[in-house]
């Protein structure tokens, strides 16, 4: 068992929690035979994201020059990103304070030649220097598993000298393979299980599922990679 994050500001889904029966939720017909349990219902995810947005907003207000450059890590981060920004926009219009937000969308590619340097290729940002230099950058990612992807992404982004570089992550797995990396903002700390839904995929399936769920054996077989 990996060490828990043990953060006050992180919601813990314990290993003993198996999840809710799919019968309690609306599940698309094309997936109903392939889901084991609903681990995190969409409503609960939204409520937690609203609080993360408040934490991020309040922290940003402490900066002297406020402007968030929000960077969505595709594809898995898109639902989290969308809800988080909606929630920040609500704060911008209702709290009597506001922070301008710009958005970028990236994909991260680990490629063999740079593996030894621990860096990644960032795809989708036309001018990295212009987008990152001197900015308050907030990376928005779905999941920290081993932490390797994020550590490499941070190393690559640091080269472009952002003013601040923070990470908001919806979930962090308790895994013995963790390199110990802990993001600045974490929605949930979760059991070491493979999860689908809410933009997380299994071979590109299940992104169109509202809730975060576990997959059953039939699903693993049905949507196995053909190659
Ligand atoms: P890491 O480099 O091991 O931390 O892996 C992080 C990446 O793997 C995330 O950005 C996810 O896209 C993907 N990933 C890790 N665990 C899961 C999962 O349970 N379901 C879907 N994708 C996952
Ligand atoms: Mg991802």
Q: Counting atoms of ligand 1 from 1, which one is nearest the CA of 148? A: 2
> How many A from CA of 212 to the centre of ligand 2?
14
Cα separations in angstroms, 186 against 161, 182, 190 = 24, 8, 11
Q: Write down the pLDDT at residue 138.
A: 97
Other C-beta atoms closer than 10 Å to the C-beta of 197 total 26
Q: Counting atoms of ligand 1 from 1, which one is nearest the CA of 195? A: 19
- For residue 143 and ligand 1, the question of a CB distance below 6 A is answered with yes
- For residue 98 and ligand 1, the question of a CB distance below 6 A is answered with no
- For residue 149 and ligand 1, the question of a CB distance below 6 A is answered with yes
> How many A from CA of 96 to the centre of ligand 2?
34
Rg of the Cα atoms in the chain: 18
Residue 60 φ/ψ, nearest 5 degrees: -65, -35
- For residue 76 and ligand 1, the question of a CB distance below 6 A is answered with yes
What is the 8-class DSSP label of residue 33?
A: T
Note the pTM of the prediction, 2 decimals.
Answer: 0.93
Q: Write down the pLDDT at residue 109.
A: 77
Q: What digits encode the pLDDT tens for the residues 154-202?
A: 998 999 999 999 999 999 999 998 888 999 999 999 999 999 999 999 9
Q: In terms of DSSP bridges, do strands 11-12 and 35-40 run parallel, antiparallel, or are they unpaired?
A: unpaired
Q: Write down the pLDDT at residue 221.
A: 95
- For residue 192 and ligand 1, the question of a CB distance below 6 A is answered with no
145 is catalytic: yes
Catalytic residue, candidates 145, 184, 192, 201? 145
Spell out a b/e string for 60-99, using b for 16 or more CB atoms within 10 Å of the CB, else e: beeeeeeebbbbbbbebbbbbbebbbebbeebbeeeeeeb
List CB-based neighbours of ion ligand 2 within 5 Å: 76, 142
Q: Write down the pLDDT at residue 10.
A: 82
Q: Write down the pLDDT at residue 8.
A: 67
The parts of the chain modelled with pLDDT lower than 70 are 1-8, 64, 110-118, 227
- Whole-angstrom distance, CA of residue 63 vs CA of residue 150: 24
| Strands in the chain per DSSP E | 11-12, 35-40, 68-73, 101-109, 121-123, 136-144, 164-173, 185-190, 195-196, 212-215
């Amino acid at each position: 068992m990996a060490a828990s994050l043990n953060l006050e500001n992180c919601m813990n889904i314990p290993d003993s929690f198996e999840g809710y029966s799919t019968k309690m939720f609306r599940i698309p017909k094309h997936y109903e035979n392939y889901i084991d349990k609903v681990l995190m219902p969409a409503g609960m995810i939204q409520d937690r994201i609203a609080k993360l947005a408040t934490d991020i907003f309040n922290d940003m207000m402490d900066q002297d020059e406020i402007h968030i450059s929000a960077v969505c890590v595709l594809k898995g981060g898109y639902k989290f990103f969308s809800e988080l920004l909606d929630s920040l926009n609500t704060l911008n219009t209702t709290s009597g304070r506001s922070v301008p937000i710009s958005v970028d969308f990236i994909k991260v590619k680990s490629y063999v030649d740079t593996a030894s340097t621990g860096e990644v290729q960032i795809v989708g940002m036309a001018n990295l220097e212009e987008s990152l230099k001197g900015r308050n950058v907030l990376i928005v990612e779905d999941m920290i598993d081993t932490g390797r992807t994020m550590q490499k992404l941070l190393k690559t982004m640091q080269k472009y000298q952002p003013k601040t570089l923070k990470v908001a992550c919806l979930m962090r797995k308790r895994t013995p393979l963790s390199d110990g990396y802990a993001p600045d903002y974490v929605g949930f700390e979760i059991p070491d299980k493979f999860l689908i839904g809410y933009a997380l995929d299994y071979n590109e399936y299940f992104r169109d599922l509202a809730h975060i769920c576990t997959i059953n054996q039939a699903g693993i077989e049905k949507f196995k990679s053909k190659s």
